[in-house]
Amino acid sequence: MSKETVLKLLQDSRGGYVSGEGISAQLGITRAAVWKAVKGLQRDGYDIESRKSRGYRLMDAPDRLSETAIRARLGQVKLVGRTLVCFERIDSTNAYLKRAASEGVVDGTVAVADEQTGGRGRRGRSFQSPAGKGIYLSALLRPPVEPNRLLPITGYVAVAMCNAVERVAFVRPRIKWANDLVLGGRKLCGILTELSMEGESGALQYVIVGIGMNVAQTREDFAGELESIATSLNLETGREISRAALAAAMIEELDALYQALLRHRLTPYLEQYRADCLTIGQQVQLLWEDVHEKVLATGVDENLGLEVLRGNGAKDVIRTGEVSVRGLYGYVE
């Protein structure tokens, strides 16, 4: 833990020097432990200057998704993120947590990867997860609730991710029903939720929420059909966004959402979802198999089902998983 706490002190100094004696006193560790932590950070790629009689100064930090980097930015959390596992490369963070679930991994465990080789989206689609570009993060939750209470959870996670992006990048994405984050008319983030239930009782065993956030991709990174529908935070803001800082904010927002779920206080998330959802009030297409139907999206119900008005005047509610929804002229419009 000393590496994380030393790194946080160096970051908080905003480029100034922090004496080894001061670090030792604040953290209650020996000067030798401070020196060891600094050397460990330097091996991890952090550029830390050391000057006699002045102390240590953080010159530059790698854009890494290591436990050290994320924990140095992570505030107090109650459950989500207390156990944090980071990978440079893995098949998928969702798949990892499903394997770990059978071994009794604790409630709130978070897995983060710099690269995925088998990332998946809805309906089994592949999700591009290149190294050094995005945040690929999953959380395993074991809430003591009936499975039907989790129907809107993916949408509420989308609200939580909008909160995280706004905190770190100072822009707020919108939500394309049901759970895609959109910025500048293009997809910024995808969310995939998977549940496991006991076969006989139907009781919930766990839910895994997987999030793929585009951060550092350039326009050249989005090839083929992605060119017109995908974007990244760096592209939209014109700034380099710290992936570690954003990952920490994502974990904090997931923890806040989980506490709201456990305490039955989800109304603010429903209200915010309705405010963030750009699909409401739009003419959209319902897509399933070879059928395309134009409808007007009029709202979302308490379970985040999409309320629509059909061409014949009939009202209906569309549930996620039944159909796909697209704009009339592309991904959003």
The mean pLDDT of 37-51, rounded to a whole number, is 87
CATH code: domain of residue 45: 1.10.10.10
Residues 56 and 71 in one domain: no
159 in helix, strand or coil? helix
Expressed as residue numbers, the domain containing 309 is 283-327
Confidence of residue 9 (pLDDT cuts 50, 70, 90): confident
**pLDDT averaged over every residue in the chain:** 89
Predicted pLDDT of residue 87: 95
Predicted pLDDT of residue 125: 54
Question: Is residue 174 within 8 Å of residue 161, measured between CB atoms?
Answer: no
The mean pLDDT of 285-312, rounded to a whole number, is 89
116 in helix, strand or coil? strand
202 or 186, which is more confident? Answer: 186
For the stretch 300-315, pLDDT in tens is 999 999 999 998 999 9
Residues 93 and 210 in one domain: yes
How far lies 322's CA from each of 53, 144, 174, 253, 272, in Å?
Answer: 66, 27, 22, 28, 24
Confidence of residue 298 (pLDDT cuts 50, 70, 90): very high
Confidence of residue 120 (pLDDT cuts 50, 70, 90): low
- Residue 143 domain-assigned? yes
Residues 50 and 185 in one domain: no
- Of 75-89, 147-161, 193-207, 263-277, the one with minimum mean pLDDT is 193-207
Return the number of other C-beta atoms located less than 10 Å from residue 215's C-beta: 25
Which of 239, 257, 276 is the last residue before a domain boundary? 276
What whole-number distance in Å separates Cα of residue 286 and Cα of residue 266?
28
Sequence-distant (6+) residues with CB within 8 A of 104 are none
45-48 long-range contacts, Cβ below 8 Å, gap at least 24?
Answer: 46/7, 48/10
What whole-number distance in Å separates Cα of residue 260 and Cα of residue 141?
13
Residue 38: pLDDT above 80? yes
Confidence of residue 329 (pLDDT cuts 50, 70, 90): low
Residues 226 and 87 in one domain: yes
Question: Is residue 65 within 8 Å of residue 113, measured between CB atoms?
Answer: yes
53 in helix, strand or coil? coil
Predicted pLDDT of residue 99: 95
- Residue 218 domain-assigned? yes
How far lies 272's CA from each of 75, 92, 158, in Å?
Answer: 23, 29, 10
What whole-number distance in Å separates Cα of residue 48 and Cα of residue 62?
11
Residues 50 and 127 in one domain: no
Predicted pLDDT of residue 142: 96
What whole-number distance in Å separates Cα of residue 170 and Cα of residue 64?
21
Residues 245 and 288 in one domain: no
Residues 79 and 199 in one domain: yes
Residue 323: pLDDT above 90? no
Residue 173: pLDDT above 80? yes
- Residue 174 domain-assigned? yes
216 or 125, which is more confident? Answer: 216
Residues 108 and 223 in one domain: yes
Number of domains comprising the chain: 3
Residues 167 and 294 in one domain: no
The amino acid that residue 86 corresponds to is C
Residue 206: pLDDT above 90? yes
The mean pLDDT of 91-113, rounded to a whole number, is 95
- Strand-pair partners of 209: 139, 193
- Of 54-58, 92-96, 291-295, the one with minimum mean pLDDT is 291-295
Residue 46: pLDDT above 70? yes
Burial 1-14 (b: 16+ CB within 10 A, else e): ebbbbbbbbbbeee
Confidence of residue 60 (pLDDT cuts 50, 70, 90): confident
For tokens 């080894």, what's the residue? 20
Dihedral pair phi/psi, residue 53, rounded to 5°: 70, -5
Highest mean pLDDT among 39-43, 197-201, 320-324: 39-43
For the stretch 144-154, pLDDT in tens is 998 888 989 99
- Residue 305 domain-assigned? yes
Residue 123: pLDDT above 60? no
The mean pLDDT of 29-33, rounded to a whole number, is 89
- Residue 103 domain-assigned? yes
What whole-number distance in Å separates Cα of residue 229 and Cα of residue 134?
16
192 or 4, which is more confident? Answer: 192
Residues 176, 228, 115, 64, Cα dihedral to 10°: -90
Confidence of residue 45 (pLDDT cuts 50, 70, 90): confident
What whole-number distance in Å separates Cα of residue 94 and Cα of residue 99?
9
